[in-house]
Amino acid sequence: MMRWTVLKCVSVLLLLGLTVPAVAWDCPDFLDHEQRKLHSRDSVNLCEVAAGKPMLVVNTASRCGYTGQFEGLEALHQRYKDRGLMVVGFASDDFRQEADSEEEAAKVCFVNFGVSFTMIAPSAVTGEQANPVFQEINRQSQPPRWNFTKYVIDGDGKVTARFPSQVRPEDARLIQALESVL
């Protein structure tokens, strides 16, 4: 996809004897997919917005007892975005606690909790139907056992830490894991 286009552009520049600009073409394949944003027609390719950046990836659900963690996740986003951290929430109904509509899920995220970090439209995060990001996360680590499982991913796309639902965003262990990849 995008990598092939980048490689062709770099090859043309080299053939013309021109300088090759710094390009984030070493983005892990599992991030190089169009993901539709929550309650939107817009999509995002995580390679284009997060290549080389550390990430905090969380599977979310808007009707879960842990839904209040959106507030803490937003606080982490605000605290670390200038240092390059990408917080990305993946809405999912794998544990049967996502809202019946994306409109309702978006209201919970964006209106009730003021989420400004990237939220991906509902998709599977476990099993064979998991989206490409979670297929790789699950390969490198343990699949989520419940909503609001948190994964710290370094700039090379390696899962460096996993935190279960009950570990809140302000937990010192999570903060330490984030600091270690920044």
Per-residue CA distances from 121 to 27, 89, 92, 126, 140 (Å): 22, 9, 8, 15, 23
CA dist., res. 142 & res. 70, Å (int): 22
Catalytic residue among 9, 27, 47, 64: 64
Task: Supply angle C-alpha 48, 162, 23, rounded to 5.
Answer: 20
Q: How far is CA 162 from the centre of its chain?
A: 13
Structure tokens at 139: 């390969």
Which of 118, 154, 105 is CA-nearest to residue 45?
A: 118
> Is 64 a known active-site residue?
yes
| Residue-wise burial string across 36-71, b where 16 or more C-beta atoms lie within 10 A, e elsewhere | eebbeeeebbbbeebbebbbbbbbbbbbbebbebbe
The set of catalytic residues is 64
